[in-house]
Structure 1
């Protein structure tokens, strides 16, 4: 199936550009098991790659032109977007094409000898589901350019360049987790990442071998509030760190949390999001979420994956009540899963829509999925998309 998809992508490239591509590369979407809104606070995260991937068929150009094309629904009408490399500017509002253009810009800004390219994309990563379709697009582009121009960059360096593209060119202040997951995850493992020093540890995550399953519940909704609220919450965390006299909230140890909260005034920081968390609640979420990541690691190392369930649920409560990035659909998915006997559940991703993850006994997976679907129907929501998350491979060349 993977080879068939790669061949289809290569054939589509030929149809669009009139010649065969030099190669086809893939990068996956990701789901984050635990560690939400911690990566831009120098904290801990634990994502795993999904089998869903973005494929990039590519060939180099020598005329300083970048051409990008996607046949996916929601793309720019199937049209080729053509850009001159010397005209690439941050915040150029280029729609989806800004993501691959940003990668080229970031590489050239870093002094790398990257020229033009023809690129065609095919993706199975759901857009707007909180599964990091943008990072998959960026990393597939970065890996293709790395090979086309013989750069020899490490996977972590590719992730950093992809993050630079999204931060500085597209204008989304994301942390490093999504791009690192797309670039560095390995099949059958979750990735424990320290986002401060980028130390990595591949943690075996064979749920099937333990009679368990991790479900992804794509709510199929994305609320407009999420567009600006992510940046506002990052600014609030930075305000909290300054108020506490630390470089980042990662530096506030769990045992220090009560004293740290006592030293903070209540209420949002200047410019904080209306209806959002106050600074104390934001600090509490980040510090306790880092602690939850460490506890999940300890329970997996102890061979007790079922014991991580309550930590997932606790993490959702923190994201809902302290950080205030959940929404009615995500809360319903988590509540319905718990009522149906799931071991634990939480929203995943930036929030305000997107997806939840649910840890279940394999024998109960269908029943739990059915209960969630029924709950959505009773509430008048569109049916969610529910599928198992099986840890997949990170970015790689296919052809």
Structure 2
């Protein structure tokens, strides 16, 4: 991993090379891995993410010509320039839409424009919130440069609206909250309904454990595919149950009204059942981590979460299932897919001395499946968004 100091130097040099002037500062925001609590955020429920050590960095300087110029070290052949007045949902699109969406949210306070160069190492399309890291790094930069009175929660909303309204990705607030609010050595326990949160100690190394991330190599995109379908299905289920959010449903027994004997009713029942049981799993994991329990005890809860995402929410894919199965067979205490689904990554809770055997077991399964070896790395709960220089 690149250090914050080296990352800042690299971003400043790249900005100088691209724009022929010095950046006013460099800001970083991390990706995230969600320990438990998938798709509960837009249902008013509970989530428990950690920030990754992987970050997206934004080197930024103000302009006076009313334009936004966007460059990326990960897309060296693409430089996007657009007038602030011409920013509109979908223009620009692709990776540039995320920082442009943030500028669009703050355009009344930043008519002069910005030069923005981004760099980073959060794996794209891996279910680790690379898009939120990009949006949050730019949101933090603009707040600081413009001297705006915006609390971290306000920045969460700016970044979320950039993704929801400008890019068209129907995310909740999990990703942006994790990127901006997480702290080193902790998981963030967030109630997405009232926005209250607390830091839960999550020092796995002290108990001889490690959290292994397995990137399947199959990418996904929140702005496309089934993510929006699942959100609409959850909204339909909530409406039939007479509640604003599925979080308000107290137990599974209350979901019986959805089972009306039709295929649609069966789908809504299963979608709602995932949310209700997933909220319960978050609370179970938080209780275990907050008390004297061995953190290994959360392993089966993670695995149960994957089964729910696979069977009730139907957002897993065979390669993610293979990741989970092979990790468990090789000795993981628990494993599950993370992110919006239809691709991305798996996390596995393993003994520290079992990282290599589990990694090898997963790689062997991929080889048997005829798939390229997955990227794997051990992650630790890291710091949230910050200014680097």
Under TM normalisation by the shorter chain, which class is it?
over 0.9
**Partner residue, 1:315:** 305
Match for residue 212 of structure 2 among 207, 212, 215:
215
Aligned partners of 1:225 and 1:352 also within 8 Å: no
Match for residue 292 of structure 1 among 281, 287, 293:
281
Match for residue 71 of structure 1 among 67, 70, 73:
73
**Partner residue, 2:177:** 180
What's the Cα RMSD here? 1.6
**Partner residue, 1:125:** 122
What pairs with 1:1-399 in structure 2 (closer than 5 Å)? 1-72=3-74, 75=75, 77-92=76-91, 94-108=93-107, 112-113=109-110, 115-222=112-219, 227-254=224-251, 257-267=252-262, 269=264, 278-304=267-293, 305-399=295-389
Partner SS, residue 200 of structure 2: strand
Cα drift, residue 156 of structure 1? 1.4
Cα drift, residue 366 of structure 1? 1.0
Partner SS, residue 218 of structure 2: strand
Closer, same or farther in 2 for the Cα pair 1:145/1:194, shift >3 Å? Answer: same
Cα drift, residue 262 of structure 1? 3.8
Note the alpha carbon deviations across 1:362-385, whole angstroms, 9 max, x for none.
111111111011111111111000
Cα drift, residue 150 of structure 1? 0.6
Q: How many residues align?
A: 386
Partner SS, residue 32 of structure 2: strand
Query: Which TM-score applies when normalising by structure 1?
Result: 0.94
Cα drift, residue 263 of structure 1? 4.4
Aligned partners of 2:241 and 2:257 also within 8 Å: no
Q: Distance in 2 between matches of 1:178 and 1:265?
A: 35
Extract unaligned runs of 5+ from structure 2.
none
Q: Distance in 1 between matches of 2:333 and 2:111?
A: 48
Cα drift, residue 330 of structure 1? 0.6
**Partner residue, 1:274:** none
Cα drift, residue 61 of structure 1? 1.0
Q: Distance in 1 between matches of 2:63 and 2:263?
A: 50
Note the alpha carbon deviations across 1:130-170, whole angstroms, 9 max, x for none.
00000000000000100111103111111111000110110
Cα drift, residue 4 of structure 1? 1.3
Note the alpha carbon deviations across 1:304-337, whole angstroms, 9 max, x for none.
2111000000000000000000001110010001
Cα drift, residue 79 of structure 1? 2.9
Cα drift, residue 267 of structure 1? 4.3
Closer, same or farther in 2 for the Cα pair 1:367/1:346, shift >3 Å? Answer: same
Closer, same or farther in 2 for the Cα pair 1:220/1:196, shift >3 Å? Answer: same
Deviates more, 1:217-226 or 1:322-331: 217-226
Q: Distance in 2 between matches of 1:228 and 1:80?
A: 28
Partner SS, residue 303 of structure 1: coil
Cα drift, residue 224 of structure 1? 7.9
Q: Distance in 2 between matches of 1:47 and 1:151?
A: 27
Partner SS, residue 125 of structure 2: coil
Cα drift, residue 261 of structure 1? 2.2
Aligned partners of 1:266 and 1:279 also within 8 Å: no
Query: Which TM-score applies when normalising by structure 2?
Result: 0.96
